[in-house]
Amino acid sequence: MEITCTEKELFIFKKVAHAAQELALETYLIGGFVRDKLLGRDTVDADIVCVGDGIALADAVAERFRPRPPVSFFKNFGTAHLRADGMDLEFVGARKESYQYHSRNPQVSPGTLEDDQRRRDFTVNALAVSLNATNYGQLLDPFNGREHLAKRLIKTPLDPDQTFSDDPLRMMRAIRFACQLNFTIDPHTWQGIHRNAERIRIISQERVTEELNKILLSPKPSVGLDLLYQSGLLHIFFPALVDLAGAETIEGMGHKDNFYHTLQVVDNLAAVTDDLWLRWAALLHDIGKPATKRFEEGHGFTFHGHEVVGARMVPRIFTKFRLPQDGKMRLVRKLVELHLRPIGLTKENITDSAIRRLLFDAGDDIDSLMMLCEADITSKNKKKVARFLENFEMVRQRLTEVEEKDRIRNWQPPISGELIMELFQLSPGREVGIIKNAIREAILDGEIENNFDAAHAFMLRKAGELNLKPRANG
């Protein structure tokens, strides 16, 4: 082959070739596997297209492995999948497609290899390698995809208006590939994205979110996010993020462009973690700023409370984007709400009480919160950045010292609401909450020690202030 495969890959493709020959099916490797191999990238996914029945070919290939791997197939789409020797093989019959403008569901009919290559999204994904005996290993490149790989160029095989009208999600895929592979989008293709941006509205939210997540998981997400913004796509499916864009000056006092600041924070965090949800927290950490923006005479622009407003927006955004409403959403909401707290602790003479409260509120997510806060430093002044990082290191040391001493992280007060109700013969209500909160605050403020006896004595005093008396044997 013109591409370099491992012995295992060659072994698998020989089995595919032999099965195809028995069924008299023209068969080819196509798409991402060929592209990635030519780029020298590791991949375990291979798309195989045949001129005929892709499901039948998948079954015949599965028979050549022991034990026989299960075959998943989708008759409506004529596709099948199996996993063999650590590789995912996707089989499909070559087809041609035609679309009506109002729908992205194509009318599909059997076709040739050339028909199948024409319907591909980009020239670099239309590359095919023959698995046929007559020309085994030959690279078939009707749209100069290999040249575009060398030039690191994303270009549609057909007129971009047709390609993007057929499947508007391809506009986001173009941007995602440019971001993941560090490619440039061909100018004519880029203009086509601009012209067809509105077509993204017919794509399901789940598919849009999947592409957005892949962009967020790329090595430098800002590249893709900025292209989404410049293309107009972001304005359509994520206007709340676009609202961050722009800087304003009044009376000589201005504020930074919070959109590009956010992109830098996402990049900073991406440099230290692959966690998708921490990257979402970075993306949303300032999402409440447009709603809280004010200009104060003689002071300038303020965004008071933007962390609280932003945290309240997180559940709505997760719902809109069909993201999980479980602990992932709660983590992002917590990090957005707390992201200013560690900054306030960089000042001198911060009390143990303030440190204890942050540990209590952040719990096991304190390390993630500190990562977000450090990523939030985007000044171009290297000395300023170094000073902030040094201050954050001091905060980390204080957090460690207080946690070792007081064990506040994931801590629960030693007196429960159930014990308070039993001791004072109370039903759930205001008085129970007052006592329980007072005990928690007293411990966090360092007024009493974090143990049962100290909390019990404090509880009795607080109950006395409320004219509550313990039951006789309490």
Whether residue 208 is contained in a domain is answered as: yes
Whether residue 401 is contained in a domain is answered as: no
Q: Are residues 55 and 71 in the same domain?
A: yes
Instruction: Measure the CA–CA gap between 178 and 397, rounded to whole angstroms.
Output: 41
Whether residue 289 is contained in a domain is answered as: no
Instruction: Answer whether residue 245 shows pLDDT above 80.
Output: yes
Q: Are residues 102 and 198 in the same domain?
A: no
> Which structural domain range is residue 82 located in?
7-148
Instruction: Measure the CA–CA gap between 337 and 439, rounded to whole angstroms.
Output: 24
Instruction: Measure the CA–CA gap between 251 and 326, rounded to whole angstroms.
Output: 45
Whether residue 451 is contained in a domain is answered as: yes
Range with the poorest average pLDDT among 172-181, 267-276, 455-464: 455-464
Q: What pLDDT sits at residue 2?
A: 58
Q: Which residues, including other chains, have CB under 8 Å from residue 394's CB and lie 6 or more apart?
A: 346
Whether residue 188 is contained in a domain is answered as: yes
Q: For residue 68, what are the β-bridge partners? A: none
Is-cis flag, bond preceding 67, omega within 30? yes
> Which has more confidence, 396 or 254?
396
Q: Are residues 121 and 189 in the same domain?
A: no
Of the residues 130, 148, 166, which one is the last residue of a structural domain? 148
Q: What pLDDT sits at residue 76?
A: 72
Q: Are residues 165 and 103 in the same domain?
A: no
- Residue 343 CB neighbour total at 10 angstroms: 15
Instruction: Answer whether residue 321 shows pLDDT above 60.
Output: yes
Q: Are residues 162 and 227 in the same domain?
A: yes
Of the residues 178, 206, 237, which one is the last residue of a structural domain? 237
Sign of dihedral through CA atoms 345, 314, 235, 209?
positive
Q: Are residues 57 and 117 in the same domain?
A: yes
Total tally of structural domains belonging to the chain = 3
Instruction: Answer whether residue 106 shows pLDDT above 80.
Output: no
Q: What pLDDT sits at residue 462?
A: 82
Compute the mean pLDDT over every residue in the chain, rounded to the nearest whole number.
88
Strands 72-74 and 107-110 come out as unpaired
Q: What pLDDT sits at residue 445?
A: 78
Q: Are residues 69 and 175 in the same domain?
A: no
Range with the poorest average pLDDT among 155-159, 258-262, 301-305, 445-449: 445-449
Q: Are residues 129 and 13 in the same domain?
A: yes
Whether residue 330 is contained in a domain is answered as: no
Q: Are residues 16 and 123 in the same domain?
A: yes
Q: What pLDDT sits at residue 335?
A: 97
Instruction: Answer whether residue 284 shows pLDDT above 90.
Output: yes
- Residue 169 CB neighbour total at 10 angstroms: 20
> Which has more confidence, 258 or 110?
258
> Which has more confidence, 400 or 373?
373
Q: Are residues 133 and 183 in the same domain?
A: no
Q: What pLDDT sits at residue 111?
A: 83
Work out the average pLDDT over 113-130.
Answer: 93
Q: What is the CA radius of gyration of the chain?
A: 30
Instruction: Measure the CA–CA gap between 43 and 430, rounded to whole angstroms.
Output: 60
Instruction: Measure the CA–CA gap between 146 and 34, rounded to whole angstroms.
Output: 10
What is the 3 state secondary structure string of the chain? CCCCCCHHHHHHHHHHHHHHHHHCCCEEEECHHHHHHHHCCCCCEEEEEECCCHHHHHHHHHCCCCCCCCCEEECCCCEEEEEECCEEEEEEECEEEECCCCCCCCEEEECCHHHHHHCCCCHHHCCEEECCCCCCCCEECCCCHHHHHHHCEECCCCCHHHHHHHCCHHHHHHHHHHHHHCCEECHHHHHHHHHHHHHHHHCCHHHHHHHHHHHHCCCCHHHHHHHHHHHCHHHHHCHHHHCCCCCCEECCEECCCHHHHHHHHHHHHHCCCCCHHHHHHHHHCCCCHHHHCEEECCCEEECCCHHHHHHHHHHHHHHHCCCCCCHHHHHHHHHHHHCCHHHHCCCCCCCHHHHHHHHHHHHHHHHHHHHHHHHCCCCCCHHHHHHHHHHHHHHHHHHHHHHHHHCCCCCCCCCCHHHHHHHHCCCCCHHHHHHHHHHHHHHHCCCCCCCHHHHHHHHHHHHHHCCCCCCCCC
Of the residues 102, 119, 148, which one is the last residue of a structural domain? 148
Whether residue 257 is contained in a domain is answered as: no
Work out the average pLDDT over 245-254.
Answer: 77
Work out the average pLDDT over 137-141.
Answer: 94
Segment 21-70, tens digit of pLDDT: 999 999 999 999 999 999 988 888 999 999 999 999 999 999 999 899 99
Taking alpha carbons only, the member of 446, 424, 449 closest to residue 435 is: 424
> Which has more confidence, 268 or 98?
268
> Which has more confidence, 73 or 150?
150
Whether residue 55 is contained in a domain is answered as: yes
Please, which pLDDT band fits residue 1 given cuts at 50, 70 and 90? very low
> Which has more confidence, 227 or 473?
227
Work out the average pLDDT over 110-117.
Answer: 87
Q: What is the CATH number of the domain that holds 168?
A: 1.10.110.30
Q: What pLDDT sits at residue 38?
A: 93
Q: What is the CATH number of the domain that holds 72?
A: 3.30.460.10
Q: Are residues 102 and 188 in the same domain?
A: no
Q: What percent of the chain is predicted at pLDDT more than 70?
A: 93
Q: What pLDDT sits at residue 160?
A: 96
Q: Are residues 122 and 231 in the same domain?
A: no
Instruction: Answer whether residue 385 shows pLDDT above 90.
Output: no
Query: Residue 170 in contact with residue 192, Cβ under 8 Å?
Result: no
Amino acid in the structure at residue 456: H
